[in-house]
Amino acid sequence: MWTGGSIAAFAFAEMLTGMLWGRLSDRIGRKPVLIGGLLGTGFSMLLFGLAPSMPLALAARALGGLLNGNVGVIQTTVAELVPKREYQPRAFSLMPFIWSLGSIIGPTLGGMLAEPVSHYPQYFSKGSLFDKFPYLLPNIICTAICIIGAVTGILFLDETHPELIDQPDRGRNVGFWIQDALSSIFWRRSSGKKDGDALVTGATETSPLLGSESPQDSPSPSPTLTPDSRPSSVTSQKPLASPWTPQVLHNVFAYAIVAFHSITYDQLLSVFLQSPASSTRLRSPFLFTGGFGLDTQTMGVLFSYQGILSTLFQFLVFTPFVHFFGVLRTFRFVAITYPLVYFLTPYIAFLPHDNDGLLFTVIYAALSVKTIYVCLVYPVNSILLTNAAPSLLVLGTINGVAGSVASCMRAIAPVATGWLYSKGVENGAMGLVWWVVGLVAAIGGVQALYITEEPAEGVEKDEEAGKVVAVVAEDAVRNLETGEVVVVESTRDGELHVRV
C-alpha cells in the first residue's frame, strides 16, 4: 500500500505541473527548465532518504513529482535538435534506450546500497546517520547523479528554443573553454612533436584555418544552434494562436491510452504469475482463476530479461525497423494489434503446470512481444506528436500537457486495475481485468486510424510581417541551402505566410 502510494504521489504531482513546466520552457528556454528539474529531483531524493516517517516520505515523493518536468521538455529539446525527419527515429530511440539502461542499473544500485549498516557493517557502524536513515545512502548517490547531470547541462547543453538561442550563455562559454583546453592537451600528447625548442601541435576545433592570426583573433566556437551558425536575416518566430490542432489532440489522446495500458501489464503479470495455482481443472474460457505460484526471484529474472531485451532492441533494431516500415505505419500496427496481448495473456493459466519448458517459453514470448511493442510505440508516438505541432515555439506546452496526461493515467491505472483484478478473482473471472484493459487498448487502436502524418514539404507557418526567416517543415530555424529561396505570401485575410 505504501509503495503504491509513493508511486501515485509522484505521478499525481507530476501531472499537476507537467503542463506548467512545458509552458515555462516555451518562455524562458529548455535548458534552465531541464537543469532546474534535475536539481529539484535530486533535492526531493535527499529529503526522501532523510524522511523519518512514511507521510514525510510521501511528501518528498510528491515534491519530486512537482519539481520534475523534464520528460516533456527533453522530448521538445530532441525535436528541436533534430528537425530532419530521416534522423528522428534514431534520436527519439535514444531516450527509451537510456531509460532501459537506467531501469537495469538503478534498482541494482538501490538494492546494493540500501540498509548499509546491515550489509556492510565493516564500513557503517550502528548508531550512525545511516543506521537511523537506512535508505539515505542510495538517495545520496541518486542526488549526486542529478547534480552531475545538472553541471553537465550547464557546461555542454545548448539552448534549443528558436527565439532564445541568441542569448548569451556563460555556462556554455565555460564549457567551450574546457573543451578547447582538453582538446589541446590530448592533441599535444598524441601528435605533438619537438622541433628544436618549439612544440608543433595540430589544429583544434577553434584554431584559425590560415594560421596567421593570434589566439585572440581565432574564431569562437559555434555549435549548431547558436546565432553564429545562422544568417543574420533569420529571426525569431511567433507561435500560432492555438497549438491544439486536431492532430495534436489525437496524438496526446493516443499517448494517454498507451500510458494507461502499458503500465498495467507488468503489474497484472506479476500478480498473475505469483498467484497460487488452481486446485481444479480449468474448463470455462471465461470463468477461471489461478496462477503458477512463481517466487519473487523468478519474477526478478523475468523482468531483468525484459530490461535487457528493451535495451538491445532500442539500440540495434528500432531505427532500421522504423526506417523500413515508416513512423505512422509502425504506430498503427502496434496500436491495432496491442489488444491481442491483453486478451490472450490470461489464457497462460490453461498451460500444463508440470511442463516448465513450455510454460516459460510462452511467458518469455509474451514478455518479448509486450516489450518490443513498448519500445516501438512510445518513440513513434513522440515523433508523430512533434511533427503534428504547428510550431516548435509551443512544442514545450504540448509535450508538457502530454506528460501530465500520461502521468495521470500512470497514477490511475494501477489503482483501478488492481481493484478490478480483485473483484474478478472474487467472482471466478480472473481474466476480467485483462479483457477490460484490452478493450482500452482496442479503443487506442481505433483512434490510431485518425492519426495522420504531417507532410514533409509545403507546410506554411505564420510569421511577423517584415521579417524573413528560413524554416523547414518541422518549423525549425536553419540555414538556407544552395538554390533555396524564401517566399513571403499575403492571404486575403491580410496574414503573411512564409515558405522555403
Rounded to an integer, the average pLDDT of 324-348 is 92
DSSP secondary structure string for all residues of 425-477: HHTT-TTHHHHHHHHHHHHHHHHHTT--PPPSS---EE--TT----B-TT--B
Band of residue 227 on the pLDDT scale cut at 50, 70, 90: very low
Left (φ > 0), alpha (ψ -120 to 50) or beta: where does 483 sit? left
Domain boundaries, the chain: 2-156, 246-381+408-448
Q: Which fold has domain 246-381+408-448?
A: Growth Hormone; Chain: A; (1.20.1250)
pLDDT, greater one: 211 or 101: 101
CA atoms within 13 A on the CB side of 278: 19
The predicted structure's pLDDT at residue 408:
85
CB 484 within 8 A of CB 500: yes
Categorize the per-residue pLDDT at 291 as very low, low, confident or very high, splitting at 50, 70 and 90: confident
What was the pLDDT predicted at 431? 85
- Give the three cell numbers for residue 362: 510462452
CB 432 within 8 A of CB 315: no
Q: Say which DSSP state 480 is in.
A: P
C-alpha grid cell, residue 289 = 482463476
Give the per-residue pLDDT at 228: 41
Architecture of the domain spanning 2-156? Up-down Bundle (1.20)
From 485, 411, 392, 381, select the one nearest 161 (Cα to Cα): 392
Overall average pLDDT of the 445-463 stretch: 66
pLDDT at 327 over 70: yes
- Contact between 463 and 239 (Cβ < 8 Å): no
Task: Indicate if 246-381+408-448 has the same CATH topology as 2-156.
Answer: yes
pLDDT of residue 225: 43
HSE value, Cβ hemisphere, 13 Å, CA-based, for 41: 22
Listed ranges 184-188, 398-402, 461-465; the one with the highest mean pLDDT: 398-402
Give the separation between CA 162 and CA 11, rounded to whole angstroms: 30
Maximum separation of any 2 CA atoms in the chain, in Å: 92
Which value, in Å, is the radius of gyration of the alpha carbons in the chain? 26
Report the half-sphere exposure of 224 (CA within 13 A, side-chain side): 11
Mean pLDDT rounded to a whole number for the chain: 79
Higher pLDDT, 357 or 295: 357
Q: Which residue has the higher pLDDT, 374 or 493?
A: 374
105-146 per-position pLDDT tens digit = 887 788 888 889 988 888 888 888 999 999 999 999 999 999
DSSP assignment letter at 285: S
pLDDT for residue 152 is more than 90 = yes
Strands 496-499 and 198-200: unpaired
pLDDT (0 to 100) of residue 482 = 58
CB 191 within 8 A of CB 441: no
Residues 6+ apart with CB under 8 A from 55: none
Nearest Cα to Cα of residue 491 among 455, 468, 460, 467: 460
> Is the CA virtual torsion 423, 426, 427, 432 positive or negative?
positive
